[in-house]
Amino acid sequence: MELDFLVPVDDKVLAHCELLPQQAMGKHIKVHSKRDGLPEMSAVKIAFLGVKESRNAFEKKPEKIDVSAIRIQLYKLLLGNWSFRLADIGDIEEGATVEDTYFVVKNTLTALLKQGVVPIIIGATQDITYPAYRAFDGIKNLVNLVAVDSRFDFGMDDELISSHSYMSKIITDQPNNLYNFSNIGYQSYFNAQEEMDLMERLFFDAYRLGELGSDISLAEPVLRNAHMVSMDMRAVRASEIGLLDNFSPNGFTGREICAIARYAGFSDKVCLFGIYEMENAVQSSQLIAQIIWYFIEGFNFRITESPLEEPENFTKYNVPCDSEQLVFHKSHLTDRWWVEVPSVLAPHTKTDTVALLPCTKTDYLQACDQNIPERWLKAYKKGFN
């Protein structure tokens, strides 16, 4: 594996780990250390790595990210009833240029993805989402990206890539493998109207903070369809994270952001999870550690199910609307819902079958009231334009 550029976990983290009880996560994580080198990855399902690159930060960072502090908080959490192996493969330091760092990030993540390992990135700035997205080149032709963010991060046309403009590079750079982009938790006063108009024109999905605050489960179907998730910690309210500068009084609570992480882990499609834009504070490190714990907890309960392949495990609902007949499926096992959309949503299939779009029970009830769900309309228009 191309992991030669990874720096081992700091000795002070390993020393702290020696003092932990046997039930602590740190006692069960395979760690990249100076003494033992990289761990054997054959049985590993999830790997953590830090990315310390911050030169493209929109707001310049007052100090380098302390990934070791996050590791100390993570290692002390108690292990869940998990049946798979975890690894901490160390950090990617800043290269001679930002492009050098991107190159190393891309190659490292590609190597992990090819081996079936789900990387959890702890990154200084969210522009690392770009090389993480490029890691899918040659692995997945169409990528669904979900950003948990108060901003859309398109930036201005002439702006160089930064933590506030990386999405512009993703949607314009070749090869263009982005199929869908969804934002969870945007706040209108942080986004220009032009950005909102662009989201509409491209049939991307966006969910306001207030909408999710009343029902965080609305995030689940969005994450169920994602291949990679990019979480900006500035989407969390300042009081929850123990930081004031560059953080907003409005945002997700700690409980809500952990629920989102658990939904991401539970999605059987998510194969890359990134957490970005934190700054050094004990409360921040604790929350990030708990976010990672909940992602792993969700991963542990992953279930692969398909109404088309196992119809006996689902209830099928045909809902005639004025212009369309919508077909919904409800799982007997998980109570999750899907709605059928024309097959352009699944170009990787060779037969002219329908595609399944994750949805909610509310979408079904709306259809019963003759209101076609907005998520279905966007998926339909995206496929026929």
Distance in Å from the first CA to the final CA of the chain: 40
Mean predicted confidence (pLDDT) in 335-341 = 93
Same domain, 132 and 252: yes
- The per-residue pLDDT for range 61-110, each reduced to its tens digit, is 778 889 999 999 999 999 999 989 999 999 999 999 999 999 999 999 99
- The per-residue pLDDT for range 255-281, each reduced to its tens digit, is 999 999 999 999 999 999 999 998 888
Same domain, 144 and 252: yes
Same domain, 345 and 277: no
The three-state secondary structure class of 84 is coil
pLDDT at 146 over 60: yes
User: Which one of 270, 300, 330 terminates a domain?
Assistant: 300
- Percentage of residues in the chain with pLDDT exceeding 90? 67
Mean of all residue pLDDT scores within the chain: 89
Can you point out the beta strands (E) in 267-380? 272-276, 314-320, 325-331, 337-341, 355-359
Amino acid 166: pLDDT: 84
Does 4 map to a domain?
Answer: no
Same domain, 214 and 323: no
Least confident range from 134-143, 249-258, 276-285, 348-357: namely: 348-357
Same domain, 260 and 332: no
Amino acid 114: pLDDT: 95
pLDDT at 381 over 50: yes
Same domain, 85 and 42: yes
Same domain, 123 and 245: yes
User: Which one of 300, 333, 355 terminates a domain?
Assistant: 300
The answer to whether residues 158 and 144 touch, using CB atoms and an 8 Å cutoff, is no
Same domain, 334 and 353: yes
What range defines the domain where residue 256 resides? 11-300
The three-state secondary structure class of 317 is strand
Amino acid 160: pLDDT: 53
Report the b/e string of 111-128 with b at 16+ CB within 10 A: bbbeeebbbbbbbbbbbb
The three-state secondary structure class of 161 is coil
User: Which one of 255, 281, 300 terminates a domain?
Assistant: 300
Predicted TM-score (pTM) of this structure: 0.92
Confidence of residue 32 (pLDDT cuts 50, 70, 90): very high
Q: Residue 273 has which token pair? A: 């999870």
Q: Which residues pair with 230 in a beta bridge?
A: 147, 274
> Which has the closest alpha carbon to 163: 155, 171, 172?
155
Number of residues assigned to the chain: 385
pLDDT at 51 over 70: yes
pLDDT at 351 over 50: no
Same domain, 195 and 295: yes
pLDDT at 383 over 70: no
Same domain, 51 and 83: yes
Report the b/e string of 133-170 with b at 16+ CB within 10 A: bbbbeeebeebbbbbbbbbbbbbeeeeebbbbbbbbbb
Confidence of residue 345 (pLDDT cuts 50, 70, 90): very low
Output the CA angle 129-105-230, nearest 5 degrees: 20
Cβ–Cβ contacts within 10 Å for residue 327, how many? 17
Q: Residue 292 has which token pair? A: 């990672």
HSE-CB at 294 with a 13 A cutoff on CA atoms is: 18
Least confident range from 176-185, 255-264, 291-300: namely: 176-185
Same domain, 121 and 184: yes
